[in-house]
Amino acid sequence: MDTFELIKKARDGNKEARDQVITENIPLVWSIVKRFSGRGQELQDLFQIGTIGLMKAIDKFDMSFDVKFSTYAVPMITGEIKRFLRDDGMIKVSRSLKETAGKVRIAEEQLNKKLGRDPTIEEISKELQIEVEDIAMAVSANAEVESLYKTIYQGDGSAICLIDKLEETKDEQEAMINHLTLKKVMDSLEEKDRELIKLRYFMDWTQTDIAKEFGISQVQVSRLEKKILKKMREGFV
């Protein structure tokens, strides 16, 4: 059975087909993981994160395109690992919180496939046998960073995150990753500017929604957004 058929069956809920696709692509995940050796993380941990990227690739792969699954999966796996490394570098949390957050992320992916919807925190708690309060604490420790790296636009196979909007060059990006935390970014803004960024990127409001809330035009919101992002970039490079 070819990969396309396996992926189709996996999406229809066939666990054996999903496991087979994952198994067949384990060497691919490891080849990508090895590129990130020496980053202060256990390779086995990165492998688990890379596997999440692989599972996402299985669910999002468009079989109508004339492209190999592995070609599509590589950036998905790489992106998941990079996001994890960025998150880890931005906010230092205890090892136990990191481990819990990692378990929650994996359980959430697995339950999503099983239930066909996003699981509740209670369902994740039951699956992991971890108290709801402990899950909430672990997740909140990474929540601000997750928002900073949240995809705000995706097209032509490339994703743009909030932090990408703040960076214009590779050097600036490295400076932002090394020295910037979301709290510092937000605290640097005036109250109205901070509210706009919060609504736009953390609450998924459109520019039109914000325009109605602020009593201004969508064009004005667009200009304000660009001005604020420029201010944030200049303030932390």
Residue 31 has pLDDT above 80, yes or no: yes
pLDDT bracket for residue 180 (50, 70, 90):
very low
Evaluated on CA atoms 122, 124, 128, 134, the torsion sign reads negative
Q: Is 208 exposed, middle or buried (0-12, 13-18, 19+ CB in 10 A)?
A: exposed
Helix orientation angle between 69-90 and 170-179, rounded to the nearest 10 degrees: 50
Say what angle helices 218-236 and 207-214 make with each other, to 10 degrees: 100
Q: Is the pTM of this model over 0.95?
A: no
pLDDT band at 39 (very low <50, low <70, confident <90, very high): low
Contact criterion met (CB below 8 Å) for 8 and 63: yes
Per-residue confidence (pLDDT) for residue 237, from 0 to 100: 46
Q: Report whether pLDDT(58) > 70.
A: yes
Cα separations in angstroms, 224 against 21, 122, 191, 210:
46, 40, 13, 11
Which range has highest mean pLDDT (68-77, 138-147, 176-185)? Answer: 68-77
Architecture of domain 168-237: Orthogonal Bundle (1.10)
| Domain boundaries defined on the chain | 168-237
